[in-house]
Structure 1
Amino acid sequence: MFPILSGLRVVECASFIAAPSCALHLRQLGAEVIRIDPVGGGMDFGRWPVTPQGDSLYWEGLNKGKRSVAIDLSRPEGRQLAVDLITAPGPDAGVFVTNHPQKGFLGHAALSRQRPDLVTVRVLGWRDGAPAVDYTVNAALGLPYMTGGAGNGDDPVNHVLPAWDLMTGAYAAFATLAAERHRQRTGQGQEVTVPLSDVALASLGHTGQIAEVLSQGDRPRYGNALFGAFGRNFRTADDRQVMVVAITGRQWSGLVQALELAPAVAALEAALGVAFEADEGQRFVHREALFPLFERAIGALPLAALRQRFEAHAVLWSVYQTLGQAVAGDPRLSLDEPLFSTLQHPSGLRYPAPGAAASFHASARQPAVPAPRLGEHTDAVLAEVLSLSPARIGQLHDAKIVASA
């Protein structure tokens, strides 16, 4: 964590990945984040992966360092309490992150009647407010038909990483700060909507894939081959899989030298009338002619010898390994780095948890903070933010409008 946004208060009422990760990014840069949680937990409170006891590692990972206020949002008194927290006064307050529908008591129009300069950042599925998640957006955009190889036939191949959820969360955090800066300069609040579908569609447009499909049609599947350059998985003599990539001319020449393939590659270039070092696209076009050369060269070497050659020639490559192998034995991915803090978590487990991915070199990194227990900060937040007396907070507990840990 870094104290860059110290003083900023964000109220979050959200579940799943995109919106909670938006507020997580803000928290890890120093903002105070108050979660409004339904009594008993929201839709993602028990989401997998979970411990053997059923505690969600997913939930406690996405909510590190936040404060939790548990409110019964099904009752009018509870809803008004949530609205009061969201619209509480103060120049550094009045920032709300949610993925709840635009209509209803958490709609911006209703909330801004109580605080006109409110900044609401709302993560949507589709632009029109219809529900969507990463996997359904991916399916609609056709990406599962580009993933995989010929052996998959007409079957889609889903990606295991929820990329649009994660990108939308990061983009929403950026949008939150942009809207808050606009309010500082103009005094104007506003609602910002960030749909997963728009983040996905814009990303494909930014990387040329929409222009490609409009001008050339849908991209076919290429298996593990890197589209537009040289790259694929290869197997070593001791049966280890490695990913080898060469995009720049220097990367290509280093790879060819490391494997002592210069004569064979030169002969192929002469036969085809191409220069692979100068044109990465030609390496992709002629991949079926190139791959056998590299399969034989890499397949003749054990991993240790290959590593020595690749490191000597600055080759772009990596060994395939499981996540468990990565965090246990790869020094580049060590959990002992300052990015991680070993914490005692609400699940009862003690394990390293990441802080902010960026490093601000003018500020000292602070340790990460574990997620709250559900309702852990109910009483403190109601007293600090809404100035409720202990007697009034007690009445809310007695009426089961709020709950604590």
Structure 2
Amino acid sequence: MYPLLTGLRIVECASFIAAPSCSLYLQQLGAEVIRVDPIGGGADFKRWPLSKGGDSYYWEGLNKGKKSVAIDLARPEGRQLLTQLITAPGKDGGILVTNLPKEGFLSHERLSKHREDLITVRVMGWGDGDSGFDYTVNAALGVPFVTGSDANGDAPVNHVLPAWDLLSGAYAAFATLAAERNRLRTGRGGEVTVPLSDIAFSALANMGQIAEVMDTGDRPRYGNALYGAFGRDFRTSDGERVMVAAITPKQWSGLVKSLDLVPTIQQIEKDLGVSFARDEGTRFTHRDTLFPIVERAIGALTMDRVRTVFDENAVCWGPYFTLKRAIAEYPRLKPGAPLFDEIDHPSGHRYPAAGAAATFVGMDRERVQRAPHLGEHTDEVLASVLSLSSARIGELHASGLVASAPSN
């Protein structure tokens, strides 16, 4: 964590990936994030993956460093209390991050009546308000029909990585800071909506894929081949797999040199009248000629030899590891690297937790903070943000309107 946003107060009423990751990124840069859940936990409190004891590793990961408040949101009094937290005074407060619907008790129109300069950042599925998440948005945009190979026939292939959720969370964090900066200049708040569908559409458009489809139709499947350049998975003589890519001229020349293929490639270029070094698209066009040659060359080498010759020649490559193996063997990902701190979590397990993905050179990283126990900070937040007395907080507990974490 870096204390760059110290003092900024975010109230989060959200679940799943996109909106909670938005607040997580802000917390990792120093903001105070108060996550409000229903008593007993929200929709993602027990989401997989789970520990053997039934605790959610997912929840622990996305809520590191946040403060947890538990309120009975089914009751009007609970919703009123949440409204007071969201709209509490202070120039660094009045910011809500949510993925709940635009209409309802968390509508910006209703909340802003209690604080005119309120900033509401709302992550959505579709821009028109329909529900959706990464896999349904991805399906509607046709991405699963480009993923995979001809062996899949007409069957879609879902991607295991929820890219639009993660991108939406990051974009929402960026939008939150932009809205807060605008409020500092103008004194005005407002609502910012970040639909996954718009993130997905804009990303595909920015990469030229919408123009491509309108010009030449849907892109066919190419399996593990890198579209538009040279790249694919290859197997070494000792059964390991490596991903090799050559996008730049330097990467291509390094690959050819490392595999002792210079004369062979020169002859192919002469026969075809092309220059693979100058044009990455040509490498893709003639991939059926190039892949077997590279496949044989890599297939004659052990993984250790591949690593040596590739690193000596600045080849862009990487081994295929399972995540478990990567954590155990790959130095860049090993716990103990600057990104990680090994900490004790609410589940009772001790394992590496990731901090801020950005490194601010010259600044010291603060240690990663664990996720809270559900309701752990209820009393603290009610006292510090709403200035409620201990007697009043006791009354709220007695009425069942709020809850704290059980004592260990």
Q: TM-score, normalised by structure 1?
A: 0.99
Structure-1 residue corresponding to 2:352: 352
Give the distance between the partners of 1:341 and 1:335, measured in 2 at CA.
Answer: 7
* Residues 5-404 of structure 1 mapped to structure 2, 5 A cutoff: 5-404=5-404
Give the distance between the partners of 1:384 and 1:306, measured in 2 at CA.
Answer: 59
User: Which blocks of at least 5 consecutive residues in structure 2 are unaligned?
Assistant: none
Describe the superposition over 1:283-326 as per-residue Cα deviations: whole angstroms up to 9, x where unpaired: 00000011111111111111111211111111111111100111
Q: CA deviation at 1:363?
A: 2.5
Equivalent AA in structure 2 for residue 189 of structure 1: G
Q: CA deviation at 1:343?
A: 1.0
Q: CA deviation at 1:361?
A: 2.1
Equivalent AA in structure 1 for residue 320 of structure 2: Y
Give the distance between the partners of 2:125 and 2:350, measured in 1 at CA.
Answer: 34
Equivalent AA in structure 2 for residue 270 of structure 1: K
Give the distance between the partners of 1:270 and 1:201, measured in 2 at CA.
Answer: 42
Partner secondary structure for residue 5 of structure 1: coil
Give the distance between the partners of 1:141 and 1:21, measured in 2 at CA.
Answer: 23
- Percent sequence identity over aligned pairs: 65
Give the distance between the partners of 2:156 and 2:81, measured in 1 at CA.
Answer: 46
Give the distance between the partners of 2:122 and 2:133, measured in 1 at CA.
Answer: 14
Q: CA deviation at 1:362?
A: 4.0
Equivalent AA in structure 2 for residue 256 of structure 1: V
RMSD: 0.7
Equivalent AA in structure 2 for residue 279 of structure 1: D
Give the distance between the partners of 1:148 and 1:256, measured in 2 at CA.
Answer: 27
Partner secondary structure for residue 210 of structure 2: helix
Partner secondary structure for residue 4 of structure 2: helix
Give the distance between the partners of 2:245 and 2:298, measured in 1 at CA.
Answer: 13
Describe the superposition over 1:198-250 as per-residue Cα deviations: whole angstroms up to 9, x where unpaired: 00100001111111111111000000000000000011111111111101111
Partner secondary structure for residue 338 of structure 2: coil
- Are the aligned partners of 1:251 and 1:316 in contact in 2 as well (CA < 8 Å)? yes
- Are the aligned partners of 1:2 and 1:28 in contact in 2 as well (CA < 8 Å)? yes
Question: Which moved further from structure 2: 54-63 or 339-348?
Answer: 339-348
Give the distance between the partners of 1:300 and 1:312, measured in 2 at CA.
Answer: 18
Q: CA deviation at 1:338?
A: 1.9
User: Which blocks of at least 5 consecutive residues in structure 1 are unaligned?
Assistant: none
